[in-house]
Chains A and B, each alone.
Chain A
Amino acid sequence: MMRTVIDLWVGAQTWLFETFVSPVLFALNLMEWFEPAFNAVEFVMLGVFQILVILLVMRVLERRWGVESGDERLIGVDRVYTVLNKLGIIPLLVFVLAYPITQEIEHLVRVMGFTPPSLERLIPGLYDNALLSFLLYFALYDLAAYWLHRAQHRFGWWWALHSLHHSQRRVTVWTDDRNHVLDDLLVNIVLAVFAQFVGVQPTDFVLILIVGRLVESWSHANIDLPSWWLSERLLVGPRFHRLHHARADVADPHVHDHNFAPVLPIWDIMFGTARFGEKYRPTGVDDAEVDADNDRGWLGQQATGFKRFFAALLPRASWTAQRR
């Protein structure tokens, strides 16, 4: 059964690659990208799968048990972000920009004799337990993402970019991919280097990304489902993550600085940033300049994000980041 699924999957991947991608690589003399391009086709296929899950499962649940109502038009731009990301357009751009940097880092450390470690070497027996190995790598990757997320809120210049993600007043399952391309680039460089050093295996890396991204899409859902004490602490869900997107106010000005974890709430619990069991609150930011993103399309948001970023880098920042 499993083999049949694999054969169907790689059969479709091979057909797509040999029909549409391979001839282009051959014609443009880009044969050194033959294998990576084949893997990229799988990435796009998985992206289509994710979009289908969002459309056919998450959106249906969201419509049935939605919490907030409001201007549906605000969601449209998030759909654009999702399609651009899941179909590999933004990731390809990010890869092209990040590759020379991550490659140079890899060259430097490996020519110096550094061998990327692997958990399998540190923990005997892990070789023979694929599931445990996957879970451990997943947890490590999630921990790195937790601290990255904290950095996005901690540094003014990074918040200038990341605030775009928080500016949405109608947070839904489409919102996860709403990010500035420069923000995506920074996050990807750090995580790619981290993966190199920690030794996440390539196959696991793709699986980690896909599982993580589905959970993250779900955690943005505009939905109120019953949750249990234990389940809330095991896996990030809409109730937990929605507090992170809650609009700050005078009574609770630092509400964004909680519930950072992408998938595993354990990191927020361990590092004292977790808040559980709170009521649903309106989402967005209490900064009029950032809130104006809601009136912009994809291009306008990206352009404004760049402006905010460069302004935040100036010695006397003309754009004062309100990290809330």
Chain B
Amino acid sequence: MKEAVIAALALVLGASCIARADQVIVLNSDEASYSVLSRGLRTEVNRLPIGREPHHLIPTPDGKELLIASTITNELVALDIVTGERKRTIRGIIDAYQLGFSPDGKWFVAAAYRLDHVDIYRYDGDFKLAGRIFIDGLPSHMAFDSESKTVFVTLQQSGKVVAFDLETQLIKWNTEIGKAPAGIVMLPDGKRLLVALTGEDSIVTMDPKDGSVIGRLKTGRGAHNFWPKGDGRHWFLSNRVEGTVTLIDTQQMQVVATVRIPGGPDCMDITPDGKELWVTQRFLRRVAIVDLATMKVSGSIPTGKSPHGVFILKAPALTPSPVRAASNEPAPK
């Protein structure tokens, strides 16, 4: 009976085709679709088509839209950030894999992972290409400095992190740091970059001024992607090979908790109340929900094939500061 009620509710919600503020968007990167999940019902209520190979998504600086990037079809689709309604399509953003807005909201950067280039756009609601930098080595994740002058991009194949001046698009520094660097975040003090080494079992700390490596912390095999807990001190890290998510205290630089998430955990988002962490399980075609009070998995929701980016739609009152780079900057609170 309970299942029947849930199914009926899911049908009603699905039929509306409008994702509401308690819902979660998950990109099915191998299916050219995205799933709309209900946080309350803990089920998929709708699956909608999108361009091919959607991997990541990001809110616009004004906090009104959610941009979904489809890498193969070279486009961004903008959804209303509250309702999930489709608003516009921006074409010609080539192979946009990872995405980021600078903290001042004036720069948009897209890393073309397959095509080996980094595109820097001036952003004022529209996208104007300022420069395209071809660079070998699978450009991947990115972070910005707080002055919005520099973007730091990891190169997974060549094992490097490279810093680009946003205004001139010139390279400031280029440092080799280890095997398959992926996730990268700028800590709130502005003096440390954390970089996850997917080809190893560690993260490294870098000085954003010159790219020198100043520390290393063992986390788990396949250290891949960061997500902030929201207190400015703790960050979650997915370890794709080991199948775990670790919680890192960035002041003490130590691992304070680890939770097992099987199936190649990847992108994450945290609920506005800070109680749950949602993690995509790429291989299992599911999203895991971690109860942050107990640091245990409290549920797992089926999605489409290879779920990658995940975003929890927030109510308007909860989105005063939406600026963040996809998957690696502080979540709006």
**A contact set with B: CB distance below 8 Å:** 3, 6-7, 10-11, 13-14, 17-18, 22-23, 26, 29, 31-32, 34-35, 38-39, 106-107, 110-111, 113, 115-116, 118, 120, 127-128, 199, 201-203
Are A111 and B138 in touch, CB under 8 angstroms?
Answer: no
| CB of A194, distance to nearest CB on chain B (Å) | 15
State which of A14, A118, A128, A203 has its C-beta within 8 Å of the C-beta of B262: A14
Q: Which residue of B lies closest to A114 (CB)?
A: B74
Are A17 and B283 in touch, CB under 8 angstroms?
Answer: yes
From B87-95, B207-215, B315-323, the one touching the partner chain is B87-95
Q: Assess A111 versus B52: contact at CB under 8 Å? Given A10-B283, A201-B31, A201-B32.
A: no
State which of B31, B53, B92, B283 has its C-beta within 8 Å of the C-beta of A113: B92
Are B156 and A10 in touch, CB under 8 angstroms?
Answer: no
- Chain B 259-296, CB-CB to A under 8 Å as 1, else 0, gives 00011100000000000000000111100000000000
State which of B73, B157, B284 has its C-beta within 8 Å of the C-beta of A10: B284
- Known A26-B199, A115-B92; 16 more pairs at CB < 8 Å: A3-B302, A10-B285, A17-B283, A18-B262, A31-B199, A32-B156, A111-B117, A115-B75, A116-B72, A116-B73, A201-B31, A201-B52, A203-B30, A203-B31, A203-B32, A203-B305
B130 close to chain A: CB less than 8 A? no
Q: Which residue of B lies closest to A6 (CB)?
A: B285
**B contact set with A: CB distance below 8 Å:** 30-32, 49, 51-53, 72-75, 91-92, 94-95, 114-117, 138, 156-157, 179-180, 198-199, 221-222, 240-241, 243, 262-264, 282-285, 302, 305-306
Q: Assess A127 versus B156: contact at CB under 8 Å? Given A31-B179, A107-B115.
A: no
Q: Cβ of B285: which chain A residues have Cβ within 8 Å of it?
A: 6, 10
Q: Assess A110 versus B31: contact at CB under 8 Å? Given A31-B199, A115-B91.
A: no
A-B interface pairs (CB < 8 A), number: 86
Q: Cβ of A106: which chain B residues have Cβ within 8 Å of it?
A: 114
Q: Which residue of A lies closest to B53 (CB)?
A: A202
Main SS of chain A's interface residues?
A: helix
Are A26 and B241 in touch, CB under 8 angstroms?
Answer: yes
Are B156 and A13 in touch, CB under 8 angstroms?
Answer: no
| CB of A35, distance to nearest CB on chain B (Å) | 7
Q: Cβ of A22: which chain B residues have Cβ within 8 Å of it?
A: 241
State which of A13, A115, A202 has its C-beta within 8 Å of the C-beta of B73: A115
| CB of A184, distance to nearest CB on chain B (Å) | 24
Are B241 and A118 in touch, CB under 8 angstroms?
Answer: no
Q: Cβ of B262: which chain A residues have Cβ within 8 Å of it?
A: 14, 18
| CB of B153, distance to nearest CB on chain A (Å) | 15
Are A32 and B138 in touch, CB under 8 angstroms?
Answer: yes
Closest 3 CB pairs of A and B: A127-B49, A31-B180, A14-B283
Would you list 25 pairs from A and B whose C-beta atoms are within 8 A, ordered by A residue? A6-B285, A10-B263, A14-B264, A14-B283, A18-B243, A26-B221, A26-B241, A31-B179, A31-B198, A32-B138, A32-B156, A39-B30, A107-B116, A110-B115, A111-B94, A111-B115, A115-B73, A115-B75, A115-B92, A116-B72, A118-B73, A120-B49, A202-B52, A202-B53, A203-B30
